[in-house]
Amino acid sequence: MCEKSIKELVDHYINVSFSVNKIAEGLVKEQIGSDLTNDQHYTLRYINKVGTCTSSELAEVFDVKKSAITAIITRMWEKGLIQRTRDENDRRVVYLTLTDKGNELFLKTEERIHSLVESFISKFEQNEIVQFLKTYDKVNEILLERKSKVE
């Protein structure tokens, strides 16, 4: 590939990636509503998926400092969305689970987000969706590999 072509491709990728991420985050935020931030929704989503976790686990999964997770967890606890349970053998360890209210809010917002994604993904042919997801997964794998080499 010639240098100009690579530059054009890189510029195109950066422009499209920025636009897609910005618009998608905004649309997701509309579906979540004012009850949650996007980070809080992703936290609810993760806890719903695993059932129980610790704030250290969340910090690692979301690749942020523990203090950032602590702030998110505290706000969610104040809203009654998560429950904190201390480990009986090691009081320093606190397990996080969703409350009924947290689970209910997660399911409500997840349904809205699924409808949103379905509304635009249904505009593609099945083979386009499959190929896009394979490509997106490959980009994710490359980025994860790159990140692990940096750490």
- Cβ–Cβ contacts within 10 Å for residue 129, how many? 13
Taking only the tens place, the pLDDT of each residue in 90-124 is 888 999 999 999 999 999 999 999 999 999 999 99
* Residue 62 burial by Cβ neighbours in a 10 Å radius (0-12, 13-18, 19+): middle
Overall pTM > 0.75: yes
Closest of 4, 24, 28 to residue 16, by C-alpha: 24
Residues belonging to the chain: 151
In order of their start, the domains of the chain are 35-150 (1.10.10.10)
Closest of 70, 13, 16 to residue 39, by C-alpha: 70
Taking only the tens place, the pLDDT of each residue in 133-146 is 999 999 999 998 99
Helices marked H in the chain — which ranges?
3-32, 38-50, 55-62, 66-78, 100-121, 126-150
Which residue is listed with tokens 């996080």?
A: 96
